[in-house]
Structure 1
Amino acid sequence: MFETVVYSPLFGIVLSIAAFEAGIWIQKKTRKAICNPLVIAILLCIAVLVLFDIPLEAYNKGGDIINLFLGPATAVLALNIYNQMDVLKKHFWPVLAGCTAGSITSIGSVFLLCKAFGLDDSITKALLPKSCTTPIAVGIAESQGGVVAITMVAVLLTGLIGALAAPLFAKVFHIKSPVAQGLATGACSHALGTTKALEMGEVQGAMSGISIGVCGIITVILSLFL
């Protein structure tokens, strides 16, 4: 009976949804950036699998179904850019220059550090898109032969660190422009950073949302040459 339940696709789907809902509840209660619903959901899923000795293959019966939504989620990023078209037109060149600089810095630093530490090529390709949102990062890693699991962890940690550090760096480096704050946050820490940018202000949130899609496109192009 137990194996029948855990090997059902519904098990992975229900566990993922329940864990994420628990993460949302905890985040609302604590109001702490570090208590990100996605991070909490991942930890809860891992805890359940380890505690009940459930094979990852069993969870993936439903988890793979959830992964199917990564493709549509990537396409939806275009809608975010469309909704912010007026803001994008007003700040087109700063957005383009900022996102290009951020993408080049992210990919370049990862590439050089991986080479310096002699990391395997598959790991390097998995880490290169770490500053993109998950759907785009996973797509890049898969097409380049990178380890997707490492990519997802790198994206998660990058987003979490960015969300925590964005307000601090803006204060330390005296970055007062809402446009610059939003672009920098979204360019380095994608969706998780955008949640923090929205707390910083409406303009910051809009610019961060725009930078997710723009940086994703730029990163896809740059990854073709590495």
Structure 2
Amino acid sequence: MNGSSLYSDPVFGVCVTFAAYAAALLVRRRVPRLHPLITAPVLVYALLQLGRIDYTDYKVGGDMVAFFLGPATVALAIPLYKQAMRLKPVLPSLLLGALVGSALGLAVNALCVIALGGTEELLRSSLPKSVTAAVSVELSRWLGGSPEFTAALTVMTGLFGSVAGPVLLRLAGVHDRVAASIAIGAAAHGIGSAKLLADSQEEGGVSGFSMAACAVFTPVLLLPFHWFIL
């Protein structure tokens, strides 16, 4: 098997992705503040550049890994189910918080791109970045944006929200755990929810619910943006 056919084999992309993430976890043991989702893409990029490997070859296997993003996102419903009875009394607040979070996310994304003179393609690609990647990529495709760029923006948004979100919420005077979890789920989607889940089943469940609700609200709220802005 020559190099070209090896690189285009789906197994290559899958192995590279897993190996990069495993290496990123080892790096995090020494540098706890360095998130694996920052380190792993850098390692993959470095390998592709050093090996002069075409991204489309790697993407054949990388897409197989990305396929499981949807099931992994759905799996966040498990902690929500475990906490369902405890969260039932605050269900209206959860829904309202997710709705407001979705609306603000779209509005802020649009205002930032327009105020900074961004292109229409950038606007179409960045509008859905605050919702989970399994949804944002499809919304970007529907809007006529770049799904790949949207995926990158979505991951960056989740990383920033999971790392800086709790600190910013405390500085803003938000100390209620449920309210903070709703905000993290609405703004930092799966990455933020996974981080909260590692600390608390309840907070992870609330954040997962907020993320799921935003995945429903955002496509509906995108319709007026599509009509009046794009």
Name the TM-score, length of structure 1 as normaliser. Answer: 0.88
Moved more, 63-72 or 89-98: 63-72
Alignment correspondent of 1:13: 14
Deviations 1:29-70 (A, max 9, x none): 4332xx222222211110100111111111112123233334
Question: Against the structure 1 CA distance between its residues 212 and 97, is the aligned structure 2 distance closer, same or farther, given a 3 Å change threshold?
Answer: same
Moved more, 170-179 or 5-14: 170-179
Q: Do the aligned partners of 2:83 and 2:202 also contact (CA within 8 Å) in 1?
A: no
Deviations 1:95-144 (A, max 9, x none): 11111111111101111222233322222121111111111111111122
Q: Do the aligned partners of 1:73 and 1:135 also contact (CA within 8 Å) in 2?
A: no
Aligned residue identity for 1:19: A
Q: May I ask how many residue pairs the two structures share in their alignment?
A: 224
In the alignment, structure 1 segments of 5+ residues that lack a partner are none
Give every structure 1 segment of 4 or more consecutive aligned residues whose post-TM-superposition deviation is greater than 6 Å. none
Alignment correspondent of 1:150: 149
Q: Do the aligned partners of 2:196 and 2:203 also contact (CA within 8 Å) in 1?
A: yes
Aligned residue identity for 1:117: L
Aligned residue identity for 2:172: F
Structure 1 Cα separation of the partners of residues 219 and 37 of structure 2: 24
Task: Please give the residue correspondences for 1:100-111 in structure 2 after superposition, counting only pairs within 5 Å.
Answer: 100-111=99-110
Q: CA deviation at 1:7?
A: 1.9
Secondary structure of 2:145 counterpart: coil
Aligned residue identity for 1:95: L
Question: Against the structure 1 CA distance between its residues 111 and 137, is the aligned structure 2 distance closer, same or farther, given a 3 Å change threshold?
Answer: same
Structure 2 Cα separation of the partners of residues 80 and 123 of structure 1: 35
Deviations 1:195-220 (A, max 9, x none): 33235544322211211111111112
Q: Do the aligned partners of 1:160 and 1:189 also contact (CA within 8 Å) in 2?
A: yes
Q: Do the aligned partners of 1:9 and 1:62 also contact (CA within 8 Å) in 2?
A: yes
Structure 2 Cα separation of the partners of residues 169 and 161 of structure 1: 11
Moved more, 148-157 or 1-10: 1-10
Identity %: 31
Alignment correspondent of 1:27: 28
Secondary structure of 1:31 counterpart: coil
Name the TM-score, length of structure 2 as normaliser. Answer: 0.87
Structure 1 Cα separation of the partners of residues 30 and 126 of structure 2: 33
Secondary structure of 1:130 counterpart: helix
After superposition, the CA RMSD in angstroms is 2.1
Q: Do the aligned partners of 1:80 and 1:210 also contact (CA within 8 Å) in 2?
A: no
Aligned residue identity for 1:20: Y
